[in-house]
């Protein structure tokens, strides 16, 4: 790429940003805007010369796409799959796994602390807490999956409890008639 081509590309990029920028940013970008390249005849040529910087702010609907949106579209066309269909980053996956493990360990530690103090050896609450404590030591991954299942079951139980009163009221109305 020649130096003139780079300057032209830089100028065109700044002009595109100028069109989508607020007024204060437009002033700064106009100061950085290089003069258009000249031809051998001394005339300004190329697409950059025909584009004038805007004098007023454009509406939000008419704003140009952001560079990040353009990059995502470019990546999607190269890979042939939309952004949402690609697998997540390894670092994001590792973070999610670590966060899940820490959360499960914290929940077990809090449950053990809140457990009954003077419970007997066969108290079901204490047996469950002791089992969860041992499970966190033996297999943190299994504990994490077990906690996810338990959370799901708890949510389903609470959702079912919220739905039950409505049919009970309907039955009471039918029985009164």
Q: Are residues 24 and 60 in the same domain?
A: yes
pLDDT at position 61, please?
41
- The DSSP annotation for 73-122 comes to HHHHHHHTS-GGGSPPPHHHHHHHHHHHHHHHHHHHHHHHHHS-SS--TT
Average per-residue pLDDT for the chain: 75
Distances (CA, A) of 58 to 14, 28, 33, 65, 174: 16, 17, 19, 13, 63
Q: Is residue 157 part of a domain?
A: yes
Residue 148 to residue 159: CA distance in whole angstroms? 16
Q: Is residue 82 part of a domain?
A: no
Q: Is residue 23 part of a domain?
A: yes
Number of domains the chain contains: 2
Beta bridge mates, 38: 44
Q: Is residue 146 part of a domain?
A: yes
If you average pLDDT over each of 3-12, 57-66, 76-85, 165-174, which comes out highest?
3-12
Q: Are residues 106 and 34 in the same domain?
A: no
Q: Is residue 37 part of a domain?
A: yes
Per residue in 1-18, pLDDT tens? 677 777 888 888 888 888
> If 0-12 CB within 10 Å is exposed, 13-18 middle and 19+ buried, where does residue 122 land?
exposed
In this prediction, residue 38 has a pLDDT band, given cuts at 50, 70 and 90, of: low
Tokens of 91: 């670092």
Structural domain boundaries enclosing 138: 91-114+122-176
Q: Is residue 75 part of a domain?
A: no
Q: Is residue 40 part of a domain?
A: yes
Q: Are residues 99 and 57 in the same domain?
A: no
Q: Are residues 15 and 62 in the same domain?
A: yes
Q: Is residue 78 part of a domain?
A: no
pTM above 0.85, yes or no: no
Q: Are residues 139 and 102 in the same domain?
A: yes
């Amino acid at each position: 790429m020649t130096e003139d081509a780079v300057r032209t590309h830089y100028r065109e990029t700044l002009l595109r940003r100028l069109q989508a920028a607020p007024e204060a940013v437009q002033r700064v970008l106009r100061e950085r805007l290089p003069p258009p390249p000249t031809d051998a005849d001394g005339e300004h040529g190329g697409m950059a010369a025909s584009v004038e910087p805007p004098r007023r702010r454009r509406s939000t609907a008419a704003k140009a796409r952001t560079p990040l949106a353009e990059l995502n579209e470019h990546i999607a066309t190269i890979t042939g799959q939309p952004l949402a269909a690609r697998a997540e980053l390894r670092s994001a996956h590792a973070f999610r796994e670590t966060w899940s493990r820490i959360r499960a360990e914290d929940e077990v530690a809090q449950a053990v602390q809140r457990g009954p103090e003077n419970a007997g050896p066969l108290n079901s609450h204490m047996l469950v807490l002791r089992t969860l404590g041992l499970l966190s030591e033996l297999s943190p991954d299994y504990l994490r999956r077990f906690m996810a299942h338990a959370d799901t079951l708890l949510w389903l139980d609470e959702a079912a409890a919220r739905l039950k009163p409505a049919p009970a009221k309907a039955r009471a109305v039918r029985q009164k008639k």
